[in-house]
Amino acid sequence: MKFGKFLMTTAALAFSATTAFAGADIFVIGGKPDDPFWSRVKMGAEDAGKVAEAQGGSVTWLGPQNYDNLGPDAAELIRQAIDQGADAIVGPDWVPEAMDPAFEAVVAAGIPLVIYNAGGIEAADRLGAMNYVGAVDYKSGHAAGVYLAKAGNKNGACVNTLPGAANIEAFCNGFNDGLVAGGGTGSTLQLPATSFGDSTAVAQAVRAHVLQNPEIDAMFAIGDQDTNAAISGIQQAGKAGSVAVCGMNFNDSILANIKAGTQACAIDQQGYQQGFFAVSILNNHVMYGTTIPTREILTGPGVVDASNVDLVIAGVEAGAR
Amino acid sequence: MSSNSTSSRSRLSLGRLLRLPETGSFIGFVVVYIFFAILGGAVFVGAPGWSSWLNIAAEVGIIALPVGLLMIAGEFDISVGSIVPASSMTVAMLSGHYDLPAAIGILGGLSVGVLIGFVNGLLVTRTTIPSLIVTIGVMFAVMGLTLGFAVLLKGSTSVSYVPHPTAKYLLGQFINYMFNVTILWWLGFAALFFYILHISPLGNWIFALGGDRESARNAGIPTSKVTIGLFMASGFCAAFVGVAQVMTYQQAQVAGGQAFIFNSIMCVVIGGVLLTGGAGSIIGILLGTMTFAVVNQGVFFASLDPNAGSIIVGALLLVAVLSNDSFRKLAISAAAKKS
């Protein structure tokens, strides 16, 4: 055991000694590698890392074992990256209270930092990071609203199955504002919290709502399961085709629905791009001193609809979407 | 009025007498329905309204029937809340992820429920731990196992599945685009459980179990077998709802189903089943389920704040228990006068 550990440390030391001056060693803090969303982010980071590797650098993924103690665990990973001699660090600001001191230590050590996935440009500004790469909940909803308004739907409702959750409220506010921007009106259908995860309850609520409010011709659901339930509710109300549905995120059955035309669009935060651009920005900065003056690099929302669904399906097979 | 009809019925038999709370449940249902019919208007009274609350009633009703039987026998089953997602996950995993025939997926999903019910029954009969605690423990264990297996095998907390047309036709279609086929299954289950509780000798055993377990055993009733059987029935029914949900919504998720725990107990109690066991009826459970579903869906048609629905259900539960008690007292005093 001990001997093995010794070997590994010497190997790691030898490795870092040979590469430290050649290229940029970039450390990326992210979610569990077996988490479906984070596996796409990781793939993006590693694809961008191929350039770093060609230059003699490296990309190292640091993820927690589980999400039970997320803030402190992630802060620990950030400090590990500093200790391992990172030339640049990418990290999400999931729990600012626990993680901000670690990010401040990165900046204090003079290591270039990019915040991605969570925290927004506010976190990047607060911490002195170079940039923020990620999606914004409000804009995801907004994109769906604008998309449906453009398609001729003028009266929308956002199905909120988690009243009180800040990110869900941001989805719904964005959706309603997006509809208004496109010349329509929006409202929110608040469901009791007990209906979360209960497809039948969501479907029947949606159905009652569209029957009682016949002027509604567009709906937005906050997740893939709710989207399937909302579509079922609309079909049961006999309004398939006259009420268009968009939803957050997608899976195989949602892509099939988009292809079949029963769902208008799905909104994706495009995790692959978060890893890809964060690593690219830092690698180019460390190697050549370049900067990206555009603050807040938005990787989402991406709209999946009938026009690009085949490409998305190919992307799913490749593991990038 | 009602005391009149109750006293004329009480002449028939003591068994009838015990089932008197049905009258209270029926009045409750009518009052609630009229209330929402006035607020909800033509749409609620029409076919769209009926199918809307019947769809809700069917799913919770299929679970409420065996949960009611267990409660009559003096037991609780909380684990139904985790059996629903466990079984739907099993179906989606077998038939969706591994592309096995739908029949194998369905069989797998149902077996999961029966197995969990069997474990519940064993633990309750072999130990002295109350069933409330046993089934809470089992619920958490099943929840953890479902999550663990899902992440291990699929690497995801949700699995999608496009069902075979025959399976969808039998378990997940909407008749006339409105009425979920589970409504028919619910009626079938109700007929079956009606036979078990009110016609077959097993029914008397179940009532006896809830009345006095010790005397029941002394009277030669195989109490352990009956209890284990009842837990397996509730596991099967919860799993059935899980299977039907996958067929309907083409997706399974590890979370969800928790709402069925309290909803099923609510339906049973509103339907006049005595929380301490020994009294209740299938008709009462059906009426309780319908009342619950009308309130649940009525709020959306009446354009009330959905939270108002929860308040009404809560108030209804208290009123139901109070009125059932007074109906029971009324009935017992009427019987006492006769003798």
Task: Look at residue B63 in the predicted model and tell me its pLDDT.
Answer: 97
> Which percentage of chain A shows pLDDT scores above 70?
93
**Residue A80: Cβ within 10 Å count:** 15
CA distances from B318 to A19, A269, B39, B269, B270 (A): 72, 46, 23, 9, 8
Whether B5 shows a pLDDT value over 70: the answer reads: no
Rounded Cα distance, A160 and B13, in Å: 52
Interface-testing mutation among B36, B54, B55, B240, with chain A (most A C-beta atoms within 10 A):
B55
Closest by Cα among B292, B288, B290, B295 to B271 = B288
Tokens coding A106: 């990165």
Tell me which chain B residue has its CA closest to the CA of residue A256.
Answer: B162
The complex scores an ipTM of 0.75
Which segment of A40-49, A208-217, B294-303 scores lowest on mean pLDDT?
B294-303
Cβ-proximal residues to B311 (8 Å cutoff; 6+ apart), any chain: none
Tell me which chain B residue has its CA closest to the CA of residue A236.
Answer: B178
Question: Does the distance separating the beta carbons of A254 and B306 come in below 8 Å?
Answer: no
**Confidence tier at A274 by pLDDT (50, 70, 90):** very high
Predicted TM-score (pTM) above 0.95: no
Task: Look at residue B21 in the predicted model and tell me its pLDDT.
Answer: 60
Residues of B in Cβ contact (< 8 Å) with A34: 151, 155
Residues of B in Cβ contact (< 8 Å) with A235: 174, 177
Tokens coding A269: 């935060």
Q: Report DSSP state, residue A193.
A: G
Beta-strand pair B174-175/B179-180:
antiparallel
- Least Cα separation, residue B307 to chain A (angstroms): 6
CA distances from B212 to B20, B70, B131, B221, B292 (A): 20, 14, 16, 11, 30
Residues of A in Cβ contact (< 8 Å) with B262: 194
Own/partner contacts of A228-232, CB < 8 Å, gap of 24 or more, are: A228/A199, A228/A253, A228/A254, A228/A257, A228/B249, A228/B250, A228/B251, A229/A199, A229/A200, A229/A202, A229/A203, A229/B249, A230/A159, A230/A202, A230/A203, A230/A206, A231/A257, A231/A262, A231/A263, A232/A199, A232/A203, A232/B248, A232/B249
| Rg of chain B over all Cα atoms, to the nearest angstrom | 20
Rounded Cα distance, B105 and B40, in Å: 40
Strand (E) positions, A53-136? 58-62, 88-91, 113-116, 131-134
**Confidence tier at B16 by pLDDT (50, 70, 90):** low
Q: What is the pLDDT of residues A241-253, one digit of tens each?
A: 899 999 998 888 8
Please name each of the domains of chain B with its CATH number. 15-334 (1.10.3470)
Mean pLDDT of B234-239: 97
Q: Counting beta carbons within 10 angstroms of the beta carbon of residue B73, is it exposed (0 to 12), middle (13 to 18) or buried (19 or more)? A: buried
Mean pLDDT of B276-294: 92
Question: Does the distance separating the beta carbons of A236 and B174 come in below 8 Å?
Answer: yes
Residues of A in Cβ contact (< 8 Å) with B256: 196-199, 225
Residues of B in Cβ contact (< 8 Å) with A199: 245, 248-249, 251, 256
Closest by Cα among A280, A282, A264 to A272 = A280
Decide if B118 contacts B135 (C-beta within 8 A): no
Whether B158 shows a pLDDT value over 90: the answer reads: no
Closest by Cα among B27, B31, B42, B51 to B302 = B42
Decide if A28 contacts A279 (C-beta within 8 A): yes
**Confidence tier at B334 by pLDDT (50, 70, 90):** low
Rounded Cα distance, B112 and B132, in Å: 20
Whether A6 shows a pLDDT value over 70: the answer reads: no
Alpha helices in B195-258 (DSSP H): 201-211, 213-218, 223-249
Task: Please give the single-letter amino acid code of residue A139.
Answer: K
Question: Does the distance separating the beta carbons of A208 and B52 come in below 8 Å?
Answer: yes
Whether B179 shows a pLDDT value over 60: the answer reads: yes
Whether B271 shows a pLDDT value over 60: the answer reads: yes
Task: Look at residue B339 in the predicted model and tell me its pLDDT.
Answer: 46
Mean pLDDT of B156-172: 86
Rounded Cα distance, B121 and B288, in Å: 26
Task: Look at residue A21 in the predicted model and tell me its pLDDT.
Answer: 54
In chain B, positions 90-149, which contact chain A (CB-CB < 8 Å)?
none
Whether A55 shows a pLDDT value over 60: the answer reads: yes
Task: Look at residue B336 in the predicted model and tell me its pLDDT.
Answer: 64
Rounded Cα distance, A152 and A184, in Å: 9
Mean pLDDT of A285-312: 93
Task: Look at residue B20 in the predicted model and tell me its pLDDT.
Answer: 60
Closest by Cα among B265, B319, B331 to B72 = B265
Q: What is the pLDDT of residues B188-222, one digit of tens each?
A: 999 999 999 999 999 999 999 998 888 999 999 99
Q: What is the pLDDT of residues A94-106, one digit of tens each?
A: 888 899 999 999 9
Question: Does the distance separating the beta carbons of B162 and A197 come in below 8 Å?
Answer: no
- What phi, psi does A190 have (nearest 5°)? -85, 125
**Confidence tier at B285 by pLDDT (50, 70, 90):** very high
B177 touches chain A (CB under 8 A): yes
A66 touches chain B (CB under 8 A): no
Task: Look at residue A108 in the predicted model and tell me its pLDDT.
Answer: 95
Q: Is B25 helix (H, G, I), strand (E, B) or coil?
A: helix
A200 vs B40, B56, B178: nearest CB: B56
B191 touches chain A (CB under 8 A): no
Question: Does the distance separating the beta carbons of B258 and A236 come in below 8 Å?
Answer: no
> Which percentage of chain A shows pLDDT scores above 90?
67
Whether A54 shows a pLDDT value over 60: the answer reads: yes
Which segment of B11-15, B43-47, B125-129, B168-172 scores lowest on mean pLDDT?
B11-15
More confident residue, A68 or B83: B83
In chain A, positions 27-56, which contact chain B (CB-CB < 8 Å)?
34-36, 39
Give the range with max mean pLDDT: A156-170, A274-288, B302-316: A274-288
Task: Look at residue B250 in the predicted model and tell me its pLDDT.
Answer: 85
Tokens coding A186: 């929006």
Which segment of A283-287, B9-13, B155-159, B199-203 scores lowest on mean pLDDT?
B9-13
Rounded Cα distance, A279 and A271, in Å: 13
Q: Counting beta carbons within 10 angstroms of the beta carbon of residue B333, is it exposed (0 to 12), middle (13 to 18) or buried (19 or more)? A: exposed
Q: Is B253 helix (H, G, I), strand (E, B) or coil?
A: strand
**Confidence tier at A82 by pLDDT (50, 70, 90):** very high
Average pLDDT of every residue of chain A? 88
B52 touches chain A (CB under 8 A): yes
Cβ-proximal residues to A248 (8 Å cutoff; 6+ apart), any chain: A140, A171, A221, A222, A223, A224, A227, A266, A267
Strand (E) positions, chain B? 158-160, 174-175, 179-180, 251-253
A242 touches chain B (CB under 8 A): no
CA angle A145, A150, A153 (to 5 degrees): 70
Whether A182 shows a pLDDT value over 70: the answer reads: yes
Please name each of the domains of chain A with its CATH number. 20-135+270-300 (3.40.50.2300), 137-268 (3.40.50.2300)
| CA neighbours closer than 13 Å in the CB half-sphere of residue A147 | 26
